[in-house]
Amino acid sequence: MSRIEACFNVLGDMQRKALLPYITAGDPEPAQTLALLHILAEAGADLIELGVPFSDPMADGPVIQRASERALQHHVRLRDVLSCVAQFRASNTTVPIVLMGYLNPVEVMGYEAFADAAQEAGVDGVLTVDLPPEEGHELIAALTARHVDPIFLIAPTTTEQRIDQICRQARGFIYYVSLKGVTGAGGVDEAAVARNIARIRRYTKLPICVGFGIKDAAAAARMAAFADGVVVGSALVARIEQCLNDKESPETPIAALVGGMRQAIDSGCIERATVTSGANYRSAGNKKD
């Protein structure tokens, strides 16, 4: 059983939803990434997405693009990201780490070499944004053989046929993109997200996590009402950028932001569990005192 599967099993038993914060490795400084990973874990992250800096990120909005640019100015490369994960694993063996990035750096390293390095570092999942599952057989096989979960995106425009195909190849969880746009964009139609998640559930038993449009704790809690997990990226990266501009350490603001989202998601889960329990109690023919 992978760390990701084990994590979602525990959350399911506790009737809790996953919080998956995202940061870009090397932003704002390479030396701060390890500390931020620990901050995220301590603040309530169930899994962590760690972005691999790339010069041409097609799915990322301006906020995360600037984070990649800052990291690349510090010469952060894929091997540096893997090294950071290995350092994190030296003291944290429970919180899953998912690398999110683009295919070019992986191809440069080589699929087998990358899969070996990811497994050795303690990476649990890999989301390669620009690798369609139809063309990903070699990398998928290399990762799966080393018990690293290949994660895939499903968009609002994805057809039924492709949803089926993606779900057959994915491991760990499904990442549902909440809107037609890049990370950090606005205008999320929550009713449409709920309908599409229900549609995806017809094809998979994997957890479904939602990202790309979640800006604050209230939005995270609303999305958690119908998803198994919530991915928050641009809001965190924007806070890091603000701290950089203000010449402040990002650690305390990031902890507060993630902690607030954790509390909001958990409060919503408790409320929904209470409502469900009450409905079950009344449906059994019982009455309140």
Cβ–Cβ under 8 Å, residues 122 and 97:
yes
Catalytic residue among 60, 124, 228, 241: 60
Q: Nearest CA to 70 among 23, 26, 21?
A: 26
Helix (H), strand (E) counts: the chain: 12, 8
In the DSSP assignment, the letter for residue 53 is: P
Decide if 49 is catalytic: yes
Catalytic residue among 27, 49, 124, 149: 49
CA dist., res. 87 & res. 95, Å (int): 13
E strand or H helix that includes residue 272: helix 251-283
Cβ–Cβ under 8 Å, residues 177 and 156:
yes
Decide if 271 is catalytic: no
Q: Which amino acid is at 2?
A: S
CA dist., res. 243 & res. 129, Å (int): 28
CA dist., res. 87 & res. 263, Å (int): 28
Residues annotated as catalytic are 49, 60
